[in-house]
Structure 1
Amino acid sequence: MNLVCVTNNIVCSTYKVNGYCGILSGDGDRTSKTHLFGHRSNIDKSGVNMLNNEPFTHQNDLSILDSLVQLSFHIQTILGRIGADHDLSIIQIRLLGILRDREPSMLQLAQYLGLDKSSITGLVDRAERRGLVERTISPGDRRGFNVSVTADGRQLIHVVGAEIERQVLDVVEVLSETDRSQFATLATKILGATLHPK
């Protein structure tokens, strides 16, 4: 699992959803920047403490809980900004990420994304109207459908995926190669236990 995927999947584990690393796995469309315990975050997306307008430089003061939550918010901001540039919600980015290398059934998609039947149907309908995905009758169940990405959808995956990779890697630019490797190892261990419990 590469560092971009690991960093992004922290978002999924923080929000307790079943994540899948496609382009990236984010959460739903309406994530607010609210502190885990119900208080508005004091740190804006530029890294400035909004209470006293001082740069946020004391990263070591954050607990591991707040560190994970703040990092997840930052990744959400990146995903939301890139998605907005391409008229995609974060959940649509996740959909395309899943379809990049597989053709799941509608049920499998719903399970990957943690959505109910009506929500996944609406999500696929919207993507299909844009010409990004298509449904075909499932060879294993004539009553069901598989979903695959179209040529236009694959091109969009390429463009959006490259932008996400660049911006997420910029986030960890402050880390040394050793730190990055250690971070990826620890995060993979956490995600393995969270997403695939025994």
Structure 2
Amino acid sequence: MTDIPGLGNTLVCLSTMIQRRYAQICADHDLTVAQAQLLCLVKDRPRRLGELSHLLGLAKPGLSGLIDRTERRGLVQRVSCAQDRRACDLTSTPLGKEIGDALHADVGARLPEIVADLPADDRATFAGLAAEITGCH
């Protein structure tokens, strides 16, 4: 598939570097990586539990445990869905939104430090290629 020797290993190293930096940022906000991901998904709008299960790649028991732990901290809350009594949405509390917004800003400020030593043109090229690969524009 690729004719670039070592590209796979380099990508794994980059992924590890990003994951470690992200985990440290989460810890600085007193969050686990899973709690941070959950908060980021609900900080701006409520989400159905099924949607969260899909987005986070968690089975319902794992998602329920994550929600329970995050709810006990006062960061999210379950809200009954008016259209379907059996369903509920998950939304952030005001504290959860505040922490989620702060985390999001911190990630935006600190993760790019990984490429800070590259020349400006290379950083711009990297940003464009990463956006193209991930579909996150």
TM norm. shorter chain > 0.5: yes
Match among 129, 132, 135 for residue 75 of structure 2 = 132
Equivalences for residues 108-127 of structure 1 within 5 A: 108-127=51-70
Deviation larger for 114-123 or 65-74 = 65-74
Q: Give distance in 2, aligned partners of 1:141 and 1:180.
A: 48
Q: Per residue, is there more helix in 1 or in 2?
A: 2
**CA deviation after TM superposition for structure 1 residue 155, in Å:** 1.2
What residue ranges of structure 1 are gaps of 5+ in the alignment?
A: 1-61
Give CA deviations for 1:141-196 in whole Å, capped at 9, x if unaligned: 2201101111101111122223222221211112333222322222222223xx9x
TM-score, structure 1 normalization: 0.61
Give the match's secondary structure for 1:141. Answer: coil
Match among 86, 100, 116 for residue 29 of structure 2 = 86
**CA deviation after TM superposition for structure 1 residue 76, in Å:** 1.1
Equivalences for residues 1-198 of structure 1 within 5 A: 63-192=6-135
Q: Give distance in 2, aligned partners of 1:190 and 1:83.
A: 24
Contact conserved, 2:76 with 2:93, CA < 8 A, in 1?
A: yes
TM-score, structure 2 normalization: 0.86
Q: Give distance in 2, aligned partners of 1:99 and 1:77.
A: 23
What is the aligned length? 133
**CA deviation after TM superposition for structure 1 residue 128, in Å:** 0.7
What residue ranges of structure 2 are gaps of 5+ in the alignment?
A: none
Give the match's secondary structure for 2:88. Answer: strand
Root-mean-square deviation (Å) = 2.0
Contact conserved, 2:43 with 2:101, CA < 8 A, in 1?
A: no
